Amino acid sequence: MSTRRYVIRNSADFARTVADARVMRGLTQHELAAATGLDRTYLAKLEAGAVVQQIERSLLLLRRLGVTLTAEMDVDATKVDPGAVDSENNGQ
Protein backbone atom coordinates (compact mmCIF):
# COMPACT_ATOMS: atom_id res chain seq x y z
CA MET A 1 0.00 0.00 0.00
CA SER A 2 1.31 3.41 -0.97
CA THR A 3 0.63 6.32 1.38
CA ARG A 4 0.93 10.03 0.81
CA ARG A 5 1.63 12.20 3.83
CA TYR A 6 0.87 15.88 4.21
CA VAL A 7 2.18 18.17 6.95
CA ILE A 8 -0.40 20.84 7.70
CA ARG A 9 1.12 23.95 9.26
CA ASN A 10 -1.19 26.66 7.91
CA SER A 11 -4.32 27.22 5.85
CA ALA A 12 -2.34 27.02 2.58
CA ASP A 13 -1.10 23.53 3.53
CA PHE A 14 -4.67 22.59 4.43
CA ALA A 15 -5.91 23.90 1.08
CA ARG A 16 -3.29 21.92 -0.87
CA THR A 17 -4.15 18.78 1.06
CA VAL A 18 -7.86 19.08 0.33
CA ALA A 19 -7.32 19.85 -3.36
CA ASP A 20 -4.76 17.10 -3.88
CA ALA A 21 -6.83 14.48 -2.07
CA ARG A 22 -9.96 15.46 -4.01
CA VAL A 23 -8.18 15.23 -7.36
CA MET A 24 -6.49 11.95 -6.47
CA ARG A 25 -9.89 10.51 -5.54
CA GLY A 26 -11.29 11.57 -8.89
CA LEU A 27 -13.89 13.94 -7.48
CA THR A 28 -14.87 17.30 -8.89
CA GLN A 29 -15.37 20.25 -6.57
CA HIS A 30 -19.08 19.98 -7.29
CA GLU A 31 -19.19 16.29 -6.29
CA LEU A 32 -17.23 16.82 -3.08
CA ALA A 33 -19.23 19.89 -2.12
CA ALA A 34 -22.54 18.09 -2.72
CA ALA A 35 -21.40 15.01 -0.81
CA THR A 36 -20.32 17.06 2.22
CA GLY A 37 -23.05 19.68 2.21
CA LEU A 38 -20.61 22.50 1.50
CA ASP A 39 -21.10 25.28 -1.02
CA ARG A 40 -18.91 24.68 -4.08
CA THR A 41 -17.72 28.29 -4.13
CA TYR A 42 -16.51 27.92 -0.53
CA LEU A 43 -14.61 24.78 -1.50
CA ALA A 44 -13.11 26.56 -4.51
CA LYS A 45 -11.95 29.47 -2.34
CA LEU A 46 -10.52 27.07 0.21
CA GLU A 47 -8.57 25.16 -2.43
CA ALA A 48 -7.31 28.43 -3.92
CA GLY A 49 -5.62 29.16 -0.61
CA ALA A 50 -7.98 31.79 0.70
CA VAL A 51 -7.27 32.10 4.38
CA VAL A 52 -10.10 30.64 6.34
CA GLN A 53 -9.78 32.39 9.68
CA GLN A 54 -11.05 29.57 11.89
CA ILE A 55 -8.71 27.02 10.30
CA GLU A 56 -5.76 29.40 10.57
CA ARG A 57 -6.48 30.09 14.24
CA SER A 58 -6.85 26.38 15.04
CA LEU A 59 -3.57 25.55 13.33
CA LEU A 60 -1.88 28.42 15.18
CA LEU A 61 -3.05 26.95 18.49
CA LEU A 62 -1.58 23.58 17.57
CA ARG A 63 1.74 25.13 16.46
CA ARG A 64 2.01 27.08 19.73
CA LEU A 65 1.47 23.82 21.62
CA GLY A 66 4.21 22.11 19.62
CA VAL A 67 1.78 19.86 17.78
CA THR A 68 2.52 18.78 14.22
CA LEU A 69 -0.61 17.95 12.27
CA THR A 70 -0.24 15.41 9.49
CA ALA A 71 -2.74 13.79 7.17
CA GLU A 72 -2.20 10.50 5.38
CA MET A 73 -3.98 9.19 2.32
CA ASP A 74 -3.94 5.74 0.76
CA VAL A 75 -2.99 6.59 -2.83
CA ASP A 76 -3.76 3.07 -4.04
CA ALA A 77 -7.47 3.68 -3.53
CA THR A 78 -9.15 5.07 -6.62
CA LYS A 79 -12.25 7.18 -7.05
CA VAL A 80 -14.38 7.56 -3.96
CA ASP A 81 -18.13 7.15 -4.31
CA PRO A 82 -19.60 10.57 -3.42
CA GLY A 83 -22.48 8.73 -1.73
CA ALA A 84 -19.98 7.07 0.60
CA VAL A 85 -18.52 10.46 1.48
CA ASP A 86 -22.03 11.71 2.17
CA SER A 87 -22.90 8.77 4.43
CA GLU A 88 -19.70 9.31 6.42
CA ASN A 89 -20.66 12.96 6.87
CA ASN A 90 -24.16 12.10 8.06
CA GLY A 91 -22.77 9.91 10.83
CA GLN A 92 -21.11 12.88 12.54
**What is the mean pLDDT for each group of 10 consecutive residues in the chain (92 residues)?**
90 93 94 94 91 88 94 79 53 40
Our separate counts of H helices and E strands in the chain read: 5, 2
Give the per-residue pLDDT at 80. Answer: 61
Give the per-residue pLDDT at 14. Answer: 93
Q: Is residue 85 one of the residues assigned to a domain? A: no
Q: What is the pTM of this model?
A: 0.78
Q: What is the number of structural domains in the chain?
A: 1
- Give residues with Cβ within 8 angstroms of 89, minimum separation 6: 35, 36, 37
Q: Is residue 86 one of the residues assigned to a domain? A: no
Give the per-residue pLDDT at 31. Answer: 95
Q: Is residue 88 one of the residues assigned to a domain? A: no
Q: Is residue 69 one of the residues assigned to a domain? A: yes
Output the domain CATH number for residue 9: 1.10.260
Give the per-residue pLDDT at 83. Answer: 61
Provide the residue range defining the domain that includes 66: 3-76
Q: Is residue 38 one of the residues assigned to a domain? A: yes
- Give residues with Cβ within 8 angstroms of 70, minimum separation 6: 5, 6, 7, 8
